[in-house]
Amino acid sequence: MPISSLFRKEVIAMSAYKVADASGLIKLDAMENPYNWPEDIKTSWLETLRDCPLNRYPDPEAKLLTETIKYLYQIPDQFDVLLGNGSDEIIQILLMALPSDACVLAPTPGFVMYKQLSDCLGLNYHGIPLLAENFELNLPAMLAAIQQYQPSVIFLAYPNNPTGNLFSAASIKEIIKTAKGLVVIDEAYSPFADASFISSLGQYDNLLVMRTVSKLGLAGLRLGYIAGSTEIIEQLHKIRLPYNINCLTQLSANFALSNKALFDQQTQAICAERAIVYKQLKSLNGIAAYPSNANFILFKTPENTASKIFESIKRQGVLIKNLNAQGGLLRDCLRVTIGKPEENSTFLNALINSLGEIG
Ligand SMILES: *Cc1c(COP(=O)(O)O)cnc(C)c1O
């Protein structure tokens, strides 16, 4: 018997989540904020960390940071918040709390971790295709799937990754009302979108709102949070490992969020650049760019050229994301994260050169 037969069949069937090597390249593949901090802010951050007691376990409930988050993002007092080592860990915690035969539903194309984590836990994942013309929710299909599968959890990314759009809020509300299971609105890109379901928490018992500081500009810290009713969050705390948020993350996030004005400036700059890159992409012959409420833009290349264009752009020193292999609505699609103005120009020139190469 091979030693691998010790593992669950769904684990053996999976592949590990691969991250492309970006060394030496301009990194526009992972929705990171391209801006670092000014020197004076770095200095006060290091001062904050000086006396961090690394010999002690961190506060298991990260009370101070939780309070900061509740206050800053106006999460009403009657709701609870659970912090995760990135929102990826929160998705994992939530799915681990479900019965082993539970169904999980999400529109597709969508964020890959919903399926990846459902698969590795042996849950039944169902992806419901978005409408081809505008990546909007197919509401009748979603409602039919809810009736058919009775999902324990539905994930809706708002804005959606990798398409960048905000789904219709009316459709989302219809889904929350119809579903008997939990509905997680994943607001990973909320810093770039003027829309949120946080203020709707009080209206629906089954609604959870999840966010992360990663796309805001703190991807290295690994911190996400989810807000919802006490009855739901208290179950999730039982699955959470006791010290899942380390003390450096607790202190650094608390420090960073108290300098929120800095991130607001950076996200405004990124949104302004998004408009410029979108306009330039749209002006290119053969490229179809999709409108975005996030810090990236999805675009379609001429038929069967996506991988060639991706490789050519990479040879010219810029790493973006090739989504062509995912197929379906993502055939021929590439995704670029908005970087600094000069990085975006380098990307656009590389794209123009690559279009010339394929003729
Ligand atoms: C990036 C992303 C996440 C994961 O964020 P982390 O907090 O870095 O784990 C979650 N949801 C969506 C839609 C994302 O794009």
- Tens of pLDDT, residues 300-316: 999 999 999 999 999 99
Could you identify the atom of ligand 1 that is nearest to the CA of residue 111?
13
Pocket test for ligand 1, best of 212, 213, 335 (most atoms within 8 A of CB): 212
- 340 shares a domain with 280: yes
- 185 shares a domain with 164: yes
When divided into structural domains, the chain yields a total of 2
Q: Quick one: pLDDT band at residue 7, thresholds 50, 70, 90? A: very high
Q: Quick one: pLDDT band at residue 18, thresholds 50, 70, 90? A: confident
Task: Examine residue 37 and state whether it is found in any structural domain, yes or no.
Answer: no
Residue numbers of the domain that contains 300: 3-30+261-358
Roughly what angle, to the nearest 10 degrees, separates helices 306-315 and 341-358? Answer: 130
- 68 shares a domain with 130: yes
pLDDT at position 2: 87
Tell me which residue has its CA closest to atom 14 in ligand 1.
Answer: 188
Mean of the per-residue pLDDT values for the chain?
Answer: 96
Q: How many CB atoms lie within 10 A of CB 326?
A: 14
pTM of the model: 0.97
- 286 shares a domain with 171: no
Q: Quick one: pLDDT band at residue 17, thresholds 50, 70, 90? A: confident
Separation CA 9–CA 14 (nearest Å):
9
Q: How many CB atoms lie within 10 A of CB 295?
A: 27
Could you identify the atom of ligand 1 that is nearest to the CA of residue 89?
9
Domain boundary among 238, 258, 278: 258
pLDDT at position 45: 96
Q: Which residue has the tokens 């500081």?
A: 213
What percent of the chain shows pLDDT beyond 70? Answer: 100
Q: What share of the chain is helix, strand, coil (3-state, %, to 5)?
A: 45, 15, 40
For residues 182 and 152, is the Cβ–Cβ distance under 8 A? Answer: yes
Separation CA 113–CA 92 (nearest Å):
9
pLDDT at position 130: 98
What percent of the chain shows pLDDT beyond 90? Answer: 94
Q: Quick one: pLDDT band at residue 358, thresholds 50, 70, 90? A: confident
Q: Quick one: pLDDT band at residue 16, thresholds 50, 70, 90? A: confident
Task: Examine residue 153 and state whether it is found in any structural domain, yes or no.
Answer: yes
What's the pLDDT tens digit per position in 264-276? 999 999 999 999 9
- 142 shares a domain with 121: yes
- 185 shares a domain with 148: yes
pLDDT at position 189: 98
Could you identify the atom of ligand 1 that is nearest to the CA of residue 224?
7
- 104 shares a domain with 79: yes
- 289 shares a domain with 249: no
Residues with C-beta less than 6 Å from any ligand 1 atom = 31, 86-88, 111, 157, 161, 186, 188, 212, 214, 219, 224
What's the pLDDT tens digit per position in 199-245? 999 999 999 999 999 999 999 999 999 999 999 999 999 999 999 99
Tell me which residue has its CA closest to atom 12 in ligand 1.
Answer: 188
Q: Does the pLDDT at position 77 exceed 80? A: yes
What's the pLDDT tens digit per position in 273-291? 999 999 999 999 999 999 9
- 331 shares a domain with 232: no
- 275 shares a domain with 250: no
Domain boundary among 258, 288, 317: 258
Tell me which residue has its CA closest to atom 5 in ligand 1.
Answer: 87
Q: Does the pLDDT at position 359 exceed 90? A: no
Domain boundary among 198, 232, 258: 258
Task: Examine residue 276 and state whether it is found in any structural domain, yes or no.
Answer: yes
